[in-house]
C-alpha cells in the first residue's frame, strides 16, 4: 500500500476511491490510496468484503481452468482490474503457454500496471475502454491482434456488472457481446446480489456512493437474465464458492459470498438476435 506518485498516471484523482483500487486493497495488493483503503474499511463493517473478494478471485481461477479443459485458449477479460496474484494470463498460461488474453478496464491505474506487467508477454495485452462499449472493444486492433473472433473464446465478466446501472441495460450489453462470439464460446460471470444479505448489501450501496463506481446489486433472476442465449453448465448459477469447489467444504463459505456466479456456453442452437 502506497501513495507514491511515481506510478500514478497523469490525471488520476487519487482522492476519489475507485472499485478497482478498493478490490486491490481487499486482495492484499499495493496499488491503492488512502481513500480507497478508508472506503474498504467501511465496507467490511457492513459486508464480509475481504471474503467476497477472495471467493470471487477463486471462482475466476476455477472458471478459467474449466474453460481451458473445454478447449478454450483465448480470453477477453472485461473489467479486469489492477494486476494481483492469480491474473487470468497467469492461470491460463501456466496450463497453456500459448493461451492469449486481452484485458479491458477503464481505470487508468489498472491499465498502467497491466501494461507494465504484460510488456514482455506477447500473448497478453490490455485495452483502456469501458465495457459498455462492446463495438470499440471488439474492433480494437489490440483485441483483433490477439483474439480470433471467428473461433470460440472465453468472455469473462467477473465481479463487474454490478457497476452498470439498469439505465445502461447490462442485459443488452451482455447480448451484444454474445452476438459477436463464435458458437462454442463461453461466458463466465459473477455479480453482487441482494439475496443473501439484503441489509448488508444496502449498506454496501451507501458506502460505494462515495466512490467513482456506485454499485447496483441484483437478484438471482436479474443476474441469470445476463446468460440469455447461453447454456449454463453445472451447477448453474450459484454463490461463488459453490461453483465447482475444489473441496466440498469450500462450499460452506457461500453464506459469506454475496455474489452469484456461473459459466455458460454459447450454443449453435441459439439464434443471433
pLDDT digits (tens, 9 = 90+) for 63-99: 999 999 999 999 999 999 887 778 999 999 999 999 9
Position 109 pLDDT exceeds 60: yes
Q: Among positive and negative, which fits the CA dihedral 186, 53, 224, 207? A: negative
User: Residue holding cell 485495452?
Assistant: 127
**Distances, alpha carbon 223 to alpha carbons 160, 189, 219, 230, in Å:** 12, 9, 6, 13
Higher pLDDT, 14 or 258: 258
Distances (CA, A) of 187 to 38, 57, 153, 246: 33, 16, 9, 20
SS (H, E, C) 47-88: CCHHHHHHHHHHHHHHHHHHHHHCCCCEEEEECCCCCCCCCH
Local structure of 100: helix, strand or coil: strand
Question: What does the pLDDT look like over 226-241, one tens digit per residue?
Answer: 999 999 999 999 999 9
Q: Where are the domains of the chain?
A: 49-196+214-265
Would you say residue 1 has pLDDT above 70?
A: no
Sequence-distant (≥ 6) Cβ neighbours of residue 147 within 8 angstroms: 74, 76, 100, 102, 153
Average pLDDT of 106-130? 92
Top-level class of domain 49-196+214-265: alpha beta
- Mean pLDDT value of segment 30-51: 94
Joined together, the cell numbers standing for residue 242 give 459453490
CA 89 vs CA 58, 93, 136, 221: distances in Å: 14, 6, 22, 31
For 243-256, the pLDDT digits (tens) are 999 998 889 899 99
What value does the mean pLDDT of the chain take? 92
Amino acid at each position: 500500500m502506497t501513495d507514491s506518485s511515481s506510478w500514478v498516471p497523469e490525471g488520476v484523482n487519487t482522492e476519489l476511491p475507485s472499485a478497482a483500487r478498493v478490490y486491490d486493497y481487499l486482495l492484499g495488493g499495493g496499488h491503492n490510496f488512502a481513500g480507497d483503503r478508508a472506503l474498504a474499511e467501511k465496507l467490511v463493517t457492513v459486508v464480509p468484503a475481504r471474503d467476497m473478494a477472495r471467493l470471487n478471485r477463486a471462482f475466476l481461477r476455477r472458471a478459467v481452468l474449466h474453460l481451458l479443459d473445454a478447449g478454450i485458449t483465448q480470453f477477453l477479460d472485461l473489467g479486469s482490474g489492477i494486476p494481483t496474484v492469480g491474473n487470468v494470463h497467469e492461470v491460463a498460461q501456466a496450463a497453456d503457454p500459448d493461451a492469449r488474453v486481452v484485458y479491458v478496464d477503464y481505470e487508468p491505474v489498472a491499465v498502467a500496471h497491466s501494461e507494465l506487467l504484460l510488456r514482455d508477454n506477447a500473448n497478453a495485452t490490455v485495452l483502456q475502454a469501458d465495457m459498455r462499449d462492446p463495438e470499440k472493444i471488439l474492433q480494437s486492433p489490440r483485441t483483433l491482434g490477439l483474439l480470433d473472433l471467428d473461433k470460440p473464446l472465453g468472455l469473462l465478466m467477473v465481479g463487474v456488472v454490478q457497476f452498470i446501472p439498469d439505465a445502461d441495460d447490462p442485459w443488452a450489453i451482455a447480448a451484444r457481446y454474445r452476438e459477436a462470439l463464435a458458437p462454442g464460446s463461453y461466458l463466465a460471470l459473477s455479480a453482487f446480489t441482494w439475496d443473501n444479505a439484503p441489509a448488508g448489501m444496502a449498506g454496501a450501496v451507501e458506502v460505494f456512493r462515495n466512490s467513482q463506481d456506485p454499485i447496483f446489486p441484483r437478484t438471482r433472476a436479474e443476474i441469470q437474465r445476463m446468460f440469455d442465449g447461453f447454456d449454463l453448465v453445472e451447477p448453474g448459477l450459484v454463490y461463488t464458492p459453490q461453483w465447482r469447489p475444489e473441496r466440498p467444504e469450500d462450499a460452506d463459505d457461500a453464506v459469506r459470498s454475496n455474489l452469484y456466479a456461473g459459466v455458460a456456453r454459447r450454443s449453435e442452437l441459439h439464434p443471433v438476435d
